[in-house]
Structure 1
Amino acid sequence: MTSKTNKKLVTTTTTTITAATVSTSVSQQFASQLEGFIESDEEETAVPASAQSLGIRAQKKLLSKISSKSVVKVFIDDTSSHVLDNLHKLIRAYSDSKKEADKLLKSIIKTIVKLGILYKNNLFNEYELKLIEDFRSRFHSLSKAIVTFYEVDFTFDRVFLTRMCKECQDLTHKIISTHLTQKSHIRIDYIFNYLSNLQFIEYVFNSNSTATRAIIKEIVQDMNSLMDAGLL
């Protein structure tokens, strides 16, 4: 093989790898790291030693082995994944810290996956299922408010947003109270406290920021799609 051919092959291979990397979303990349932050506190699922508990552990191990894109699709649909990617952009722009944006997104994905495992294994009792429905209702109201605040001028209400975030936060704590350890409670507080921070909220809904508005526009479009599909 000539040196010219070798050079062409290397260039083609590099381009292919780069394209594949770019096409993978941030949330998909983090999902590929689930082995590290799922199995590191695998003991969090508080179920008795049984075939069921062994099955749950096996699921966690399986999640750490399959591809990043597959992991995301187990519990997070493509549209929701796109919302998370844009949330990552907002946090990175707000904090001027990729590390901070990465930390929050990883915490969100880990929480979603853990709740998904519990739900898919029918580990929530009747009371907890009612709490989940209550959470869905409040989160739906929160989502509608976010859409309205973006689409309709002079409707922004920071007090309403912080109150709804707090209610969703409290419900999440109740839902996981008998299933996960304090580590998960701390993670949930970190997520909601960050997103309900007044400075962050005002930054997100700053109508004078062209860059922020562009990201919010995409989030709102995806949220509308999720609500139309009955998923939000």
Structure 2
Amino acid sequence: MSSKTNNKEESSQTTSVSQQLARQLEAAAESDEEEISVNASALSLGIRAQKKLLSKLSSKSVAKIFIDETSGRILDNLHKLARNYSGKKDADKLLKSIIKTIVKMGILYKNDLFTEHELKLIDEFRNRFHSLAKSIITLYEVDFKFDRSVLTRMCQECQELTHKIISKHLTQKSHTRIDYVFNYVSNIEFLEYSFNPNSTINRAIIKEIIADMHTLMDSGFL
């Protein structure tokens, strides 16, 4: 009886986080329009029209545009770790910051607003992030003694690249969100907590994250 109750509670929590993810995506799509700077008024109007269209779509539709199902599960599990580590308020802020950043960069990319130099920075970010993901997998699957400070350094490299990519497009508010995300996930104490081999709960969450990372790597998305 207890097992069934726990399963129901876990399912309810997972669903609520996924729904929150979709709602945050929808809200982000229709807010802070002034943060994207463009050179041509026609292009600006086009982007605003796109945002208005996104705001009228269902939450699930908006989520599918920017975040695939597998990546959504990773974010859900990251939210669980953050909630268990520092509380719901911080976890919600982390999730919201990630989603807003993804949505805004996605709109910039879809509208071909990045310069050739910025696109090269994006490629460099992808390579660095791929290396970061492989290191996370190694930490879980191979060596618990893996130096956590290496993950922190790799996160900081991705953080710096992200700032460079958006520097000519988004406002300080977006830079602040980026700092919050990377500073949170690269914190040594958070990493130690998340990868604690003696924590059954965290091990189960990390196991799901690693499985989804493998899926994204196998499909060429990570």
What's the TM-score once normalised by structure 1's chain length? 0.86
Matches within 5 A, 1:80-119: 80-95=71-86, 97-119=87-109
Name the SS for the 1:207 alignment partner. Answer: coil
Match of 1:41 in 2: 32
Match of 2:42 in 1: 51
Match of 1:184 in 2: 174
Name the SS for the 1:43 alignment partner. Answer: helix
2:39 maps to amino acid: P
Matches within 5 A, 1:2-81: 24=15, 26-34=17-25, 36-81=27-72
CA distance in 2, matches of 1:67, 1:35: 8
Q: Shift of residue 185 of structure 1?
A: 0.4
**Shift in alpha-carbon separation, 1:146–1:23, aligned structure 2, 3 A:** closer
Match of 1:228 among 206, 218, 222: 218
Match of 1:140 among 130, 136, 145: 130
Q: Shift of residue 22 of structure 1?
A: 6.8
Kept in 1: contact 2:14–2:76 (CA 8 A) = no
CA distance in 2, matches of 1:21, 1:56: 36
CA distance in 2, matches of 1:76, 1:111: 12
2:141 maps to amino acid: E
Q: How many percent of aligned residue pairs carry the same amino acid?
A: 73
**Shift in alpha-carbon separation, 1:124–1:27, aligned structure 2, 3 A:** farther
Q: Shift of residue 75 of structure 1?
A: 1.0
Name the SS for the 1:32 alignment partner. Answer: helix
Match of 2:4 in 1: none
Task: Please identify, of 129-138 and 146-155, the stretch whose mean Cα deviation from structure 2 is larger.
Answer: 146-155
CA distance in 2, matches of 1:21, 1:219: 19
Kept in 1: contact 2:28–2:99 (CA 8 A) = no
Q: Structure 2: which 5+ runs fail to align?
A: 1-10
Kept in 1: contact 2:30–2:54 (CA 8 A) = no
Name the SS for the 1:47 alignment partner. Answer: coil
Root-mean-square deviation (Å): 1.8
1:63 maps to amino acid: L
Q: Shift of residue 215 of structure 1?
A: 0.1
CA distance in 1, matches of 2:56, 2:90: 26
Matches within 5 A, 1:164-175: 164-175=154-165
Matched, 1:163 2:153: yes
Q: Shift of residue 146 of structure 1?
A: 0.4
2:80 maps to amino acid: K
Q: Shift of residue 155 of structure 1?
A: 4.4
CA distance in 2, matches of 1:65, 1:121: 19
Q: Shift of residue 156 of structure 1?
A: 2.0
CA distance in 2, matches of 1:23, 1:144: 26
Asked which structure has the greater CA Rg, the reply is 1
Q: How many residues align?
A: 212
What's the TM-score once normalised by structure 2's chain length? 0.90
Name the SS for the 1:94 alignment partner. Answer: helix
Q: Shift of residue 200 of structure 1?
A: 0.3
Task: Please identify, of 100-109 and 167-176, the stretch whose mean Cα deviation from structure 2 is larger.
Answer: 100-109
Q: Shift of residue 148 of structure 1?
A: 0.8
